Structure 1
């Protein structure tokens, strides 16, 4: 008789990857788009920004950053509701909603970036 394997390690790996990616790339993106461009430290043109995002691998990197960050959020939010608010009876619906939102935003980012 074969034992059913839990899917939990998969979501923990997405959580860890999302935390790593978020901590490495999001501060740089926030400084560039939130400080450097509005304060005039950098003045990129539309053509320059388009040339940065045009290659498929740049769009793929943006999608990975968005996707892993969202799965990091989903896992953290799920366990905040589960452990912090003691919503143990609602674990399955909370997990479905949190990971569903993360998956939906991943699909939306893929649609926006590649279509």
Structure 2
């Protein structure tokens, strides 16, 4: 009778980072061209009134909980996407030794900036 050996699986945090990477990539793919169109073409050409994007209106939007959440998502997810790509790009460049410091550096920076932006945004209430 064969005894079944218990398999031990090492838990990984990688699915979380891949999820943030995918969400940030989707946001970059869909939102960035729209933002470039609005701020780079439509406003300078006069198709959209500049007064809609003045400081007071944008500050009023960012001072609401949903505005702060939207701005946080628009900043944090592309940031996580970028640093996840950098982390795996280092491996592609042949920098393989000591992956822990690379992980801490990339994901730690993305986490720190995300928390900093969240603190700034939610302090405006």
Between the aligned partners of 2:62 and 2:43, the Cα distance in structure 1 is: 17
The structure with more helix, counted as a fraction of residues: 1
Alignment of 1:92-111 (within 5 A): 92-111=100-119
Secondary structure at the aligned position of 1:4 is classed as coil
Gaps of 5+ in 1: none
How many residue pairs get matched? 114
**Which structure is larger by alpha-carbon Rg, 1 or 2?**
2
Between the aligned partners of 1:50 and 1:25, the Cα distance in structure 2 is: 20
Deviation at 1:29, TM superposition (A): 2.2
Deviation at 1:57, TM superposition (A): 0.6
Which region of structure 1 is more displaced relative to structure 2, 35-44 or 68-77?
A: 35-44
Aligned to 2:55: 46
4+ long deviations beyond 6 Å? none
Between the aligned partners of 1:49 and 1:7, the Cα distance in structure 2 is: 36
**Alignment RMSD, CA only?**
2.0
2:86 to 58, 77, 85: 77
Aligned to 1:19: 25
Gaps of 5+ in 2: 1-5
Q: TM-score, normalised by structure 2?
A: 0.78
